[in-house]
Structures are given as structure tokens and as C-alpha cells.
Amino acid sequence: MATVHIRRCDGPGAEPRWVSYEVPLEDRMTVLGVLDYIYENVDTSLAYYQSCRMGRCAGCFVQVNGKGVLSCETTAFDGMRVGPLENYELVRDLVVDLNKPLKKRASNDRG
């Protein structure tokens, strides 16, 4: 069994929180496989996106320990922290609107 930490948030403006889950890691299990396991066996309220499962659509992008990765191609590991992509508008949990990147802060634009 492995412990994974998922950043959960009910939507824009809601307070984010980290939730830990126990997951049976299998050999070469992907981050997407972990999310599927959690959704199918533990918590059906978890929101995440998947489509092609082959690394082509880029819809399953998440952050693992602060690094942007495709969840369908990234091997899962014990203790990983999975959160939504930064700099995109949050929809809920790990789902972001990939069509709407957040605007840079005004102080960063003056540079």
C-alpha cells in the first residue's frame, strides 16, 4: 500500500485542502491509474480529467510534487503529492480549464 496526497478544492474561491488516500500500487502503475483507483474504490467525488490515455490530448496534466506531468504517462510512487496545474483557472480538484490561463499579475507585467 502507498499513501498519496491529493489537493482537493470545491471550485474557484474555495479553500484547498490536502487529502491522503491509501492505494495498492502495482508495478508501473501511473498517476492516472491511482486517480482511477481512488475514484472507483474510495471516493467518487474526486474530480480529474482523462481522455486519450496515450499522452496525446494533454488533458490529464497535473502537478506531481510541484512538477507538471501527464498523469497517463507518469509512474506513481509512494508519498506523491498530486495537485492541479498552476496558472490555469481551477474548475474543481484536479480539473483546470486548459483554454483559460490565468492572467499575469499586474506587478509582473510592468517589468
Above pLDDT 70, what percent of the chain? 86
Residues 8, 19: Cα–Cα separation, whole Å: 7
**What's the whole-number mean pLDDT along residues 40-47?**
97
The range of the structural domain enclosing residue 75 comes to 2-105
50 vs 47 pLDDT, higher one: 47
Please check whether residue 84 lies inside any domain of the structure. yes
Q: Is residue 95 part of a domain?
A: yes
pTM for the predicted model, two decimal places: 0.85
- Identify the CATH number of the domain in which residue 99 sits: 3.10.20.30
- How many separate domains does the chain show? 1
pLDDT score for 16: 96
Domain-embedded: residue 111:
no
Distances 95 to 16, 47, 92 between C-alpha atoms, Å: 13, 6, 5
**Does residue 8 belong to any structural domain of this protein?**
yes
Residue 62 placed within a domain = yes
Average pLDDT, the chain: 88
- In this prediction, residues 66-86 reach a mean pLDDT of 96
